[in-house]
Amino acid sequence: MEVLDNILSMNMLMATLRMAIPLVLASIGGVLCERSGIINLGIEGMMLIGSFSAVVGVHFTGSPWMGVLFGIIMGGMFGLLHATLCIKFRTNQSVSGVGINIFASGLTIVLCRAIWDSDGSSGTVEQVPNMTIPGLNQIPVIGQLFDNQSPFLYLTAIIVAVSWYVMYKSNVGLRLRTIGDYPKAAATAGVNVTKYRYVCVILCGMLCGLAGAYLSIVQSNLFVKEMVAGRGFMAMAATIFGGWNPAGSLGASLLFAFAQALRINVEMELPQRILQMIPYLLTLVVLIVFGRRVQGPQAAGDIKD
């Protein structure tokens, strides 16, 4: 009964929301990317470079918000790299994504040693401060959502709402969905398919960079080697499980985040290694069960047009 009370508590909800933020941001980036017809297996690497760049930004400027900007810019640069390789040079999209993951992993280690003389971690930096919304924090029960919370929580909610609206309630979203399924038809109708693809892949990189910045200067105050720890692949799974829909990605990300929060906030008589595996096992199960059942963008991976 005590375990059930812990699961249904407000603390559990807040922990789930906090852990969902990077997954939601990265998975929405994945939605935009794949809706444009570009497969992105490099989300993990883009998040990693965002995490590192955010810490570098704070280290050299002293401003956490400049760190966030650094993370977004570098994530966007890696998105541009992926877009250029896939669209201009027609590189195999899966190979490009995996290459970005490997490149980001090695680059962050090398630069960590160059800046902080350490292979494993950076120095500590100032974190993005929490905020309280006066008035709303006094609302019974849900007031905690507006009391001493990260600005990223509200920013993520706005990004989800805007991305869903653009995707399903605007001409831009209609064109994007058409590109993902029938790029030749979109091109025939006068849509600049290449431009849409570049913009979407760069936006994906920027959202991944923002997600990475959250890990390093909101949840933590330093960069640690491989600190993304598979969250990029969870975000990819959330993209698939969510049906390439921003709202669906939100729901899937909350599910994965709940598994992470469960491991941390609820005491269970299981070996620690088993508990640590729960979020990743859930990701595998979701991909196995739903990976072949959901229908993604039909032209994803095809840039012959």
**Which domains are seen in the chain, by residue range?**
2-290 (1.10.3470)
Kindly tell me if the per-residue pLDDT of 268 is higher than 70: no
First to last CA, the chain: 59
Mean pLDDT of all residues in 134-138: 89
Sign of the dihedral through C-alpha 51, 249, 12, 147: positive
The SS3 assignment for 129 reads coil
CA-to-CA distance for 106 and 181, rounded, in angstroms?
Answer: 35
Backbone angles phi, psi at 270, to 5 degrees: -135, 150
Write down the pLDDT at residue 204: 97
Give the integer Cα–Cα distance in Å for 14 and 209: 23
What secondary structure does DSSP assign to 165-216, as a single string? HHHHHSHHHHHHHHHHH-HHHHHHTT--HHHHHHHHHHHHHHHHHHHHHHHH
Distance CA 15, CA 111 (A): 32
Q: What is the pLDDT of residue 2?
A: 60
Asked whether residue 8 carries a pLDDT value surpassing 80, the answer given is no
Count of H-run helices and E-run strands, the chain = 12, 0
pLDDT at residue 62 above 90? yes
Q: Are 283 and 234 in contact (CB under 8 A)?
A: yes
Query: What average pLDDT does the segment 66-90 reach?
Result: 97
Question: 273-291 b/e with 16+ CB inside 10 Å = b?
Answer: eebeebbbebbeebeeeee
pLDDT at 270: 67
Residue 267: its pLDDT value, please? 67
- Tell me the mean pLDDT in the region 221-234: 94
Q: Which has the closest alpha carbon to 77: 163, 255, 204?
A: 204
In sign, the C-alpha dihedral spanning 77, 296, 303, 194 is: negative
Averaged pLDDT score across all residues of the chain: 90
Best-predicted range by mean pLDDT among 140-149, 224-233, 261-270, 271-280? 224-233
Nearest to 235 by CA among 176, 286, 303: 286
Burial class of 270 by CB neighbour count within 10 A (0 to 12, 13 to 18, 19+): exposed
